[in-house]
Amino acid sequence: MTDHVPTKDDVAAVFAFAGLTVTPERVAEHYETYATTLALIRQASPTGLGETVPAVAFSANWD
């Protein structure tokens, strides 16, 4: 597996896919944190499958 470093566009695409509104300014401001996190997720992905670790969206509330 190569050491893939997500671009700012990659980070923005992840947020868009998750349905989260994150401004380009915030992506730029926190890019290193987001990119590092995405790179760690990619490393934890099963090799040979070309997939990332599954994630499930959830709503945590007291209702």
**Which amino acid would we find at residue 16?**
A
pLDDT at 22: 93
Q: Does the pTM exceed 0.75? A: no
**Do 18 and 57 touch, CB atoms closer than 8 A?**
yes
CA angle 43, 26, 7 (to 5 degrees): 40
* Domains of the chain: total: 1
Pick the more confident residue, 36 or 57: 36
| Cα(44)–Cα(37) distance, integer angstroms | 11
Domain ranges, residue 32: 1-63
| pLDDT tens digits along 11-45 | 999 999 999 999 999 999 999 999 999 888 887 76
